Amino acid sequence: MSQNVYQTLEEVKLLPLYTATDLSYLPKVEEILVENHVPLIEVTFRSKLAGEAIKQLSASGKLLVGAGTVRTLEEVKIAIENGATFIVSPAVVPEVIEYCLEQEIPIFPGTATPTDIQQAASYGIKTVKFFPADIYGGLKAINALSGPFYDIKFLPTGGINEENFLEYIENPNVVGIGGSFILSEKVIMEDNGVKMNQILQSLVEKINKL
């Protein structure tokens, strides 16, 4: 399964960040992702519904469901118990990383500095989240960091949008990009997913033209 997550991210290039505040929209979330051939989602722990949302989205087996904003051992255990197949953290959290490695669950720790990246690399991690990408220098920073960290791939998140996401995706050091602009509960709520489906379809079409 771990290989599936990395391979799928490399192919799709998009990792939707989703915060669930209303579980009734989850069937629509799955429908939109499957229809647009984006079988990945990161459900953030910015909501108390995260565990249940992960469980429901994992049920059909159509999506690779991960947990995001995971900062504690308790959260990572809840995520994995509910079916999360990968974990994303906003920082390098040793106990979270160590637990994921024990469970053989892929972990993308959040990094912003050479110290962060080296700490993640010391665990054998080869793909790190770069967050917040815009604040910490964006592509210029990624290109500079990729010199000494030539064997590390980056998953930038933060400040990436419909206007600049292709620049990141085209960078050879970037495995894919994360963002809430890819899939938003708020936008889905507006018209039961019609607009959201169109937005995601447009993003995928732009990637396919590269």
Q: Which residues are catalytic?
A: 42, 129
Asked if 192 and 27 touch (Cβ cutoff 8 Å), the reply is no
Beta strands 110-111 and 107-108 are: unpaired
Q: Rounded distance, CA 139 to CA 53, Å?
A: 32
Residue with tokens 């920082």: 91
- Best CA proximity match to 66, nearest among 96, 92, 95, 94: 96
Asked if 130 and 112 touch (Cβ cutoff 8 Å), the reply is yes
Residue with tokens 């993003």: 203
